[in-house]
Amino acid sequence: MIQKTHKKIVSFGDSFVFGNELKDNEDGSRAWPSLAAQDLGCAYETMSVAGCGNENIARQLYTYFSHNPAEHTLAVINWTWCMRWDFFLQEANSWVTLGPTCVPGKLQDLIGLDKATNLINFYRANLEPSQTWNIFRSLQCIYATQCWLKQHHIQNIQTYMDVSMLEDLPIDCVEHYQSFKDPSWPKISTPQDMFSLPTHIIDEVNLDFREQSESAQYIKDLRTSINPQLQTFQGQTFLDWSRSNNFPVTELLHPLEQAHRSAADLWQDSYAQLLQI
């Protein structure tokens, strides 16, 4: 690529920004932010880390801009799913991410198989299913990062993968009952079965259902605070947009070449405007 300008695009995020499963993409140069940079004649660099959480993405930004100037640089940020947790393992002196796909083997070399198994079991029992905790944690992280970006006058475009971070999603009543019920309560398999339950069980389930369905006011306030800084792929996340356009997506949910080329075309004008190209 012939670089036509001293402007630069730097991307921050997870595998969707890096372009995992794209052909010949060892350095992330086939992903949409890089393709847009090539089209604009800009330099490009990615700080993205596959499988990471939002705290990791925030650290990517803090780390990069603590050593590099913000002038003439556009940060392309794609926030990830809230259920991913970034931990610092003290005994291994290393950051790791726990998520739904994490298995003990990924952490075995750092802390041993038994400790890795215990840590992942703790995540699955206490962290992954706690939607309110996950959303609150990510919203705080993103809000703090947005304030930092503004304070340091860093040009940026932010998108996101997790729709539940910004809006309450419908809860399946049967699934909710199964996760909430006392072991002594009757089993159900359809929503209609709910009507055959004793009144005191229905009342208790409905109370918890309402609490789970309606986000706390502090969640709503944080959503209101971060939402103006978040953009979409024509009203959707990158993955949903790719699917709605019938672009190929892998079994691991990664959009492939056609999606990244089209995404670069979609964002190119916005990138050029912010970089004043």
pLDDT given at position 210: 63
The H-assigned helical ranges of the chain are 15-18, 32-40, 54-67, 104-111, 113-122, 131-151, 173-180, 199-213, 217-226, 238-244, 257-275
Q: What is the pLDDT of residues 67-116, one digit of tens each?
A: 999 999 999 999 999 999 998 999 999 999 999 888 999 899 999 999 99
Give pairs for 189-198: CB < 8 Å, separation 24+.
none
Confidence of residue 209 (pLDDT cuts 50, 70, 90): low
Q: How far is CA 168 from the centre of its chain?
A: 16
Tell me the C-alpha distance between 161 and 177, whole Å: 28
pLDDT on residue 205: 74
- Which residues sit opposite 73 in a β-bridge? 8
Dump pLDDT digits (tens) for 134-183: 999 999 999 999 999 999 999 999 999 999 898 875 556 777 677 777 88
For the cut 60, the answer to whether the pLDDT of residue 1 exceeds it is no
pLDDT band at 53 (very low <50, low <70, confident <90, very high): very high
Decide if pLDDT at 5 tops 70: no
Instruction: Tell me the three state secondary structure of residue 2.
Output: coil
pLDDT over 70 (residue 189): yes
Q: Which residues pair with 44 in a beta bridge?
A: 9
Instruction: Decide if pLDDT at 215 tops 90.
Output: no
What's the rounded mean pLDDT across residues 27-42?
97
pTM of structure: 0.83
Identify which of 24, 82, 30, 50 has the alpha carbon closest to the alpha carbon of residue 263.
30
